[in-house]
Amino acid sequence: MVIKVFLATSSGSTAIKKKQQDVLGFLEALKIDFAQLDIACNEENRMWMRENVPEEKKPENGIPLPPQIFNNESYCGDYDTFFDAKEDNDVYTFLGLPAPPGSKKRRSALEESQEVEGEEERDEGDQPVSEEEEELRQLEEEQEEDE
């Protein structure tokens, strides 16, 4: 799988440059393989990107701005959806990639499965109790025995 990031190397917009750098820097930090495809200098890249961004994801003027992110031919999203996935620690899902061992999403899923397994193994009478609850239970048992 190849992550494709469509960008404009000669963009005059500071905002676009910053967004492109954010995406590229984050992918590099995660050591995710990706290809940079320039739409400013390559007409084929520009046309391919414009044709493959889904209609419902295009802005009102119909021309999607970089960065646009794809996994091979599958559209992942633009900068805003990438940013949301990054904030939710869900970048691997956004990119359509499996999360590596030790990632936050994988760790939390593993922790949840361990918690569920632990709950399944416990009986109702085997619930963990605090020391105070245990002392109260013992007092009640002693009172019942005295009666």
Q: What pLDDT, on a 0 to 100 scale, did the predictor assign at position 98?
A: 94
- Which of 107, 100, 105 is closest to 29 using CA atoms? 100
Model confidence over 90-146: pLDDT tens digits? 999 999 999 888 876 654 444 455 555 555 444 445 555 566 667 667 777 776 776
The one-letter code for the residue type at 18 is K
Give the residues across from 5 on adjacent strands: 36, 69
Model pLDDT, residue 115: 53
Q: What is the structure's pLDDT at 110?
A: 47
Count of domains forming the chain: 2
| Whether residue 82 is found in the same domain as residue 126 | no
- State whether 79 and 16 are in the same domain: yes
Q: Residues 37-81: pLDDT tens digits?
A: 999 999 999 999 999 999 999 999 989 999 999 999 999 999 999
End-to-end CA distance of the chain: 74
Cα(39)–Cα(6) distance, integer angstroms:
7
Expressed as residue numbers, the domain containing 138 is 104-146
Residues 25 and 57 in one domain: yes
Amino acid at 63: I
7-37 residue pLDDT tens: 999 988 999 999 999 999 999 999 999 999 9
Are 41 and 59 within one domain?
yes
Q: Do residue 14 and residue 74 come from a single domain?
A: yes
Q: What pLDDT shows up at residue 127?
A: 56
pLDDT at res. 128: 57
Q: At CB < 8 A and 24+ separation, what contacts does 79-88 make?
A: 79/19, 79/22, 79/23, 82/23, 83/22, 86/26
